[in-house]
Amino acid sequence: MSITEHELKIELEGIEDPDIGEDIVSLGLINDVTIEDETARISLALNAPYAPSEMELGNRIREVVSEAGLTADLRAHVGSEHGFDDEVLPRVRNVIAVSSGKGGVGKTTIAANLAAGLEKRGAMVGLLDADIHGPNVPRILPVESEPGVTPSEDIVPPRSDGVRVISMGFMMEDEDDPAILRGPMVNKFMLKFLEGVEWGRLDYLIVDLPPGTGDATLNLLQSMPVTGSVVVTTPQEMALDDTRKGIQMFNKHDTPVLGVVENMSSFVCPSCGDEHGLFGTEGAQTIVDKYDIPLLGQIPIHPDFGAEGSEGALVKDDSSPVQETVEEFVAEVSDRIGEVNRRTVAKNVGSGEPDNALPTETED
């Protein structure tokens, strides 16, 4: 006798979320289970495509379904019934803000590598260069064409490999021209980038925020449904002081801080292999201890990473010795996005049965 849908759901209660520590059914991560023609079609409230932790959850579910003698057909969907706002950027699953308390810490390099790394994992990714006065993304991710325009005058972002990119740099006649804009004009450009860009369907939109905690950053946080923020710092005390201010800004605006990445954390001598903390050691650790947030990665100084004259994102270069460190950072960010989203589902759905009248789903 074949297993029933109710019995299969009971079996799925044996799968524990690795980050939250409760079973996926109680957390409300199972939208619906139907069985037809020896196939179990399961809708999951997962929203971080290609995140290692969610891919592992999918594998565990397939194992349980297989043990029940069925073939698994897994799909993922979250929406307003789970507490997710889809009015702004409705076709974007996750918005990740990359910020820094001050300039010069490698924020744009981190944002570009995060975008390229997520795309390399298989996700559909966009990168919004919101640093209006210092639009450097095109230097790191060279695009393949100029921006296009739809009949409705929306901007079509060009691509750098698979990453869709929009930057103020595309609006300049010369890349060295300064963007001399006052507050209202900055807000006008940012509104156009948010509402007037045909991003298509994205798993992740990476937003390279302006440095600091000024009006431009605050306006963006109030305009976008930010899933979480990545805060970039270096080990110097001045950078750490400004990083603390940035974290407090996100906390005041109820924006989850995914964690801190420490750039220029050390220098590894190419001759002897010794590691040197040129700007101090364990600087970011003091931040993560104080605010109880994860350390997403420590990226050393290396000519491949943000060096003058380098082209393209390091994460694309499998031959680089820093490659593994960067890819681990990318995986950690996607895992944190997944955890934040699943906690949101658990908070809004709890142990109750979620609404099964779902819109169009996408394959996990």
Residue 83 annotated as binding site: no
Asked whether residue 162 is marked as a ligand-binding residue, the answer is no
Is residue 107 a known part of a binding site? yes
Query: Is 217 labelled a binding residue?
Result: no
> Do the annotations mark residue 309 as ligand-binding?
no
Residue 120 is labelled as binding a ligand: no
106 is in an annotated binding site: yes
Is 212 labelled a binding residue?
no
Which 3-state string (H, E, C) describes 29-54?
CEEEEEEECCEEEEEECCCCCCCHHH
Measure Cα distances from 177 to 134, 172, 174, 186, 193 in Å: 10, 7, 5, 16, 20
* 267 closest CA partner among 278, 259, 283, 256: 278
Separation between Cα atoms, residue 218 and residue 304, nearest integer Å: 33
Q: Which residue has the tokens 């003698």?
A: 69
Q: Are 32 and 7 in contact (CB under 8 A)?
A: no
Cα gap 80→225, rounded to integer Å: 13
DSSP letters for 315-346: GG-TT-TTHHHHHHHHHHHHHHHHHHHHHHHH
Structure-token match 């209660």, residue found: 13
Instruction: Give the E-state strand segments of 48-153 in sequence order.
Output: 71-76, 92-100, 125-129, 148-149
Annotated binding-site residue numbers for ATP: 101-108
Q: State the binding site.
A: 101-108
